[in-house]
Structure formats: structure tokens, C-alpha cells
Amino acid sequence: MRRVVVALATLSVVIAATVCLTASARSDAPGKTTKASSDDLKQLCEEIVTQMSRGEPKGYALLVDHTALAPSPSIDEAAQGVLQVKAVAALQSRYGEFLGCEFVRGKKINDTLRRCDYLAKYEKHAVVWTFVAYRVHDQWRFIHGNWYEHPAVIDALFAE
């Protein structure tokens, strides 16, 4: 049981690292962006959580397409996307059927930096998704998006 927990925690770190590396290894060409309203940002985040939690590659593609920079040719994003989707879909085998997600809270640092937290609900457990987005020229771009299943992260939702 402990090995499974460690393995899933490691997968979460790998996903975060891959998304961050994908963004940091990108060229200077801008990626796709979202509209500037908070509602549009929330809707995009919810779609990513839902698609990824169902094991659909579109969710990872949306996350990557809306990061701050365009992809580097040195990163095989299709292969990384498959790995990420499989890792998140593995949550269903552990926690049961994906039941949906809901917006938990958002934090506004200023007009250009926001964080959105979502709760992905499964039959046996909840998973927290966190997105940080930056708005420039009336467009939202993700700095990062990640999911966390560790109970301490869920507990932290009550602390703030």
C-alpha cells in the first residue's frame, strides 16, 4: 500500500515537472491564450480537470496549448500528453469513478495573476487541482497546472 502511495505521489511530481519543463523549454513564440475574464479562466480550468480526470487527451492538450510559451521541437508533447493522461486516469483505478469537479476557490494577487483551485471528486477520494494564470494584453496564460492527492494538500484548503 505504501509503495502505491509513493508511486502515485511520484507521478504527481512527474506531471508537474513535465508541465513546467514543457513551458520552460519553449521558444519565444506565444501559445494559445484565453480570454481575460475570470469566468473564462474558470471555465477553461474546469474543462482541463474534467477532460484529464476522464482520461481524455484533450485536457492535457488544452493545458499545454494555453501555457505562456510555444512548444519546443525538442519535446515530444504527444508522448508526454499520453503519459500525463494515463497517470491521471490511473486515479480512477485507485479512487473509483470520476464524479465531477467543482471550483473551490480563487485567489487574485492583482489584475494579472490568479490562482484557481478545483476539487476533482471520485467515489473514494478527492484530488485538488491548482492552476496559476498570468494575464497580459487581455489574455490569460498558464504558468502552471497540477493535481495533488496527498491529504495534507486537501487539509490546506481549510487553512486559508
How many other CB atoms sit within 10 Å of the CB of residue 72? 15
Among 31, 34, 10, which residue's Cα sits nearest to residue 150? Answer: 10
How much is the pLDDT for 58? 84
pLDDT at 10 over 50: no
How many other CB atoms sit within 10 Å of the CB of residue 112? 12
Using one digit for the tens of pLDDT, what is the confidence trace for 34-68? 446 888 899 999 999 999 888 887 888 888 888 87
How much is the pLDDT for 129? 93
State whether the Cα torsion 99-104-107-112 is positive or negative. Answer: positive
Cell of 39: 469566468
DSSP symbol at 70: P
How much is the pLDDT for 79? 66
How many other CB atoms sit within 10 Å of the CB of residue 128? 19
Cα dihedral 78, 81, 87, 88, rounded to 10, equals -150
Q: At a CB cut-off of 8 Å and minimum separation 6, what does 72 contact?
A: 22, 25, 26, 27
- Name which CATH class applies to 2-159: alpha beta
Using one digit for the tens of pLDDT, what is the confidence trace for 76-130? 666 666 777 777 778 888 999 999 999 999 999 988 899 999 999 999 999 999 9
pLDDT at 31 over 70: no
Residue type, 97: E
